[in-house]
Structure 1
Amino acid sequence: MTKLNLSARDILQKEFKSKVRGYDPVEVDEFLDTIIKDYETYNQELLALREENHRLVNKVDQLTQSQATLSRMKQEVPNPTSVTNFDILKRLSNLEKEVFGKKLEESSGSVKIDVSEKARASLSSAAEKVLNNDDLGATRRF
């Protein structure tokens, strides 16, 4: 804080020398000039503290909003134990093998190979797309 020339006690205890017609005007003027300088210093200090207070209040508001956003984001983060698209595709592949495997055994051998290869290619392509996709939120429609 800036060093001030007068304290409240100094102003209260200040005594002016009297002359025949009252106080010495030069001494009174010098004292009032010192008081004015102190008031200007107080005013500058007050303005600086108000600006700092305003800046800090804004920063607290901003941090509060950031914290609220982070807490909302933490709530929206999916559970790591939840089912992923890869798990769903794996299950689907096993089901298709089970269902189509029985049907294909009943049908001819050449058709069996053709359908099996198509199913594997389709599943491989779907699994590759899921693994390469970084946006898991968009793919969690299941």
Structure 2
Amino acid sequence: MIKLNSKIILEKEFKKSMKGYSVDQVDQFLDQIMEDYDAFEKQLNELRVENERLKAELENNTRRPAPAQPTTSNTNFDILKRLSNLEKHVFGSKLSE
């Protein structure tokens, strides 16, 4: 579960003390963290949309039966038979020699 977002990070207040951190450095670092959170959130939303699209596409594809594929062995046999007939026609009696 995500506990932070860029708004929470932006509004976070730290106590100041005598020997504390540089406020400017902390602010710069928090700005980088906010940019990363925004980028992660954008990417996450894009991936969610793509995931839903792919799920719908998969659902649609599983509903339709796959087109029948020709049997390769029958196709190869037909090609070889045609080739044999062509050789007989072109070469004729020369094949037996």
TM-score (normalizing by structure 2): 0.49
- Which has the greater radius of gyration? 1
TM-score (normalizing by structure 1): 0.34
> Quick one: higher RCO (CA 8 Å, sep 6+), 1 or 2?
2
